[in-house]
Amino acid sequence: DIQMTQSPSTLSASVGDRVTITCRASQSISSWLAWYQQKPGKAPNLLIFDASSLESGVPSRFSGSGSGTDFTLTISSLQPDDFATYYCQQYNSHPYTFGQGTKLEIK
Amino acid sequence: QVQLVESGGGLVKPGGSLRLSCAASGFTFSDYYMSWIRQAPGKGLEWVSHISGSAFHTSYADSMKGRFTISRDNAKNSLYLQMSTLRAEDTAVYYCARLPYCSGGWCPCYFDYWGQGTLVTVSS
């Protein structure tokens, strides 16, 4: 199975900050990576697919980059609604695995 | 708009069985792969299974293979997960999710719409 490792596990930041979350795959997954946002008690919401494609309706302050084994999710200017947990997910090969999550907290 | 509504969760004893349902609306259900994903309390996400639009193709995570069965009824716009020989470690919120449309060949297995989830608790 492909292991997905996110860092950091917790990130404290302020409104207006630029933040970056990293996701590393245990082997190359080309660009077959998605990012999701999850708020407490809610289902995950798709933000980015194919490593860098923004899902329709997602604010442009979210962006993704990377290929192979190293990927990043960047939020250019944090808004109050962005404090949540973020997950990466690979779909290069079965089984489709998720990172352990990065909790973005208010500083 | 796309809606996915899960039902059927509850408390079940170890070794027991449960059937989850997911009612879909707002899109042509038979055109899409569908999946189940679970999340144990306070933990991360784990892909469980998926099924093609025609139900011809199914796939499972190894830990669920042989115990869980995914199915669908396109006439009823419904997805199902039959779970048997349940263990305490199967306790989780189970989400129904849609994969993006693909016309054939290799289909990208990420999830563009999710239901609100249904909680399954396995405990004596």
Task: From chain B, pick out residues whose CB is under 8 angstroms from the CB of A36.
Answer: 45, 111
Q: In this structure, are residues B101 and A32 in contact, taking their beta carbons and an 8 Å threshold?
A: no
- CA–CA separation, B42 and B92 (whole Å): 9
Q: Mean of the per-residue pLDDT values for chain A?
A: 97
In the prediction, which pLDDT does B51 show?
95
pLDDT digits (tens, 9 = 90+) for A28-46: 999 999 999 999 999 999 9
List, for residues B15-73, the tens digit of each pLDDT value: 999 999 999 999 999 999 999 999 999 999 999 999 999 999 999 999 998 999 999 99
pLDDT at B102: 80
Interface test with A, best of B45, B93, B107, B114 (most A CBs within 10 A): B45
Cα of A8 to nearest chain B Cα, Å: 15
Q: Kindly report the nearest CA distance between residue B44 and chain A, in angstroms.
A: 5
pLDDT score for A30: 95
DSSP state of B62: T
Q: What is the pLDDT of residue A1?
A: 94
Which among B40, B57, B56, B59 has a CA at the least distance from the CA of B48?
B59
Interface of B with A (CB under 8 A): 44-47, 59, 61-62, 95, 100, 108-117
Q: Averaged over B77-105, what is the pLDDT?
A: 93
The pLDDT value recorded for residue A92 is 94
